[in-house]
A and B are shown apart, each in its own frame.
Chain A
Amino acid sequence: MSLPENIGKFVSRLINTVKSESADWQKAHQSDLGRLKEEKVLAEAELKQRLELMEIRFAQECKRARLEEERQTEHFSEFLASIDEMKASMLEYYGSMPKPIALMIHHQAAELLREAWHNPDARERLQKQTRFTSLMLTITEDLSELGRDGGPKALPEKTIAFIQNKLE
């Protein structure tokens, strides 16, 4: 008998042995295999259910996050509009005030707003929010005092003092 024939027989014998061993093993552990199969089906069903619930929760969370972002952007645009409005009011009510001063106040307010919203440090953000609110209140105070205390003023003195205090 030639060498390739020997090898062929050896391989076929080996395959037959493995097959019969596997069949014997499966016969001996049939009950365990059945149980494992059932457990697998159950686990797959459970996983599918958990994934479905997760998908619903994630979809809701994403929707909430989008709405929250839209709300924040809307608030932010309102603040930006109030800064522009404040500049227009100042130029209107303080007739003799040089325009660059109004532009400087606008710039300071915008910078404070940026810090109040975009600073990564939460404490800094809070401080700047307070400062931004104080600045806007000071501007409102200056505007409301116009004409009340003995005639019109040339400049919004309290606002300028507030900004100078910040710059120093």
Chain B
Amino acid sequence: MPHSFSEISLIYVSFSVLVLYAPAVLCALGLAYFLYRRHSRLERRQQQHQRIRHAIADKGLGKRKRMLLAVQRRNIRELAKLVRCQLKEHERNLTPYQHQRASSFIERAVTTVDFERLYTLHALFAANAEKQVSPAVEAFFEHTR
């Protein structure tokens, strides 16, 4: 009894898949085994030890970086508090857009510890008279874009 087309195609497709992929899988397994056995047991242990040593060093470095960031954040938050007060004082002299932009800039500066630019904004608020604040803030955001 002749086989139907679907039966034949099913056999051929699965067979061709096996023929195509089986050697690739075997090659990959062979390569993995070769790479594993390329180094002796002593060398593998040495490499593992080096990885552990690096992990210890990285952990220590990470901890110190987090400590520094916490200290810097605490410091910049104090400045941000001062700048927020200045912003409140100058609220009438700024457009709503400038005010909103300045307050979001303050938040961003705290998050990214952008002390220099926040300090510049503080100096700008402190140095300019009421009427001059708006153009100065505009120029500041033009430069910091």
Chain B, residue nearest A57 (CB): B49
**Chain B proximity of A72: nearest CB distance (Å):** 6
B33-52 interface (Cβ within 8 A of A): 41-42, 45-46, 49, 52
The proximity string for A residues 42-80 relative to B, scoring 1 for CB distances below 8 Å and 0 otherwise, is 000001001100110010011001100110110011001
A117 touches B64 (CB 8 A): yes
With A54-B42, A100-B122, A107-B72 as known contacts, state yes or no: A73 contacts B57, CB within 8 Å.
no
B75 touches A100 (CB 8 A): no
Q: Determine which residue in B45, B72, B119 has the highest number of CB atoms from chain A within 10 A of its CB, and name it.
A: B72
Chain A residue numbers with a CB within 8 Å of B75 are 87, 103, 106-107, 110
Q: In the complex, how many residues of chain A place their beta carbon closer than 8 angstroms to a beta carbon of chain B?
A: 31
A61 touches B53 (CB 8 A): yes
Task: Name A's interface SS.
Answer: helix
A33 at the interface (CB under 8 A from B): no
Task: Name B's interface SS.
Answer: helix
B41 touches A61 (CB 8 A): no
Alpha-carbon gap, A144 to B72, bound state (A):
26
B79 touches A72 (CB 8 A): no
Chain B residue numbers with a CB within 8 Å of A61 are 49, 53
Of A50, A76, A99, the residue contacting B67 (CB under 8 A) is: A76
Chain A, residue nearest B116 (CB): A107
Chain B residue numbers with a CB within 8 Å of A77 are 67
Chain A residue numbers with a CB within 8 Å of B41 are 47, 51
B64 touches A73 (CB 8 A): yes
Alpha-carbon gap, A114 to B65, bound state (A):
8
The proximity string for B residues 18-46 relative to A, scoring 1 for CB distances below 8 Å and 0 otherwise, is 00000000000000000000000110011
Q: A residues near B, CB below 8 A?
A: 47, 50-51, 54-55, 58, 61-62, 65-66, 69-70, 72-73, 76-77, 80, 83-84, 87, 99-100, 103-104, 106-107, 110, 113-114, 117-118
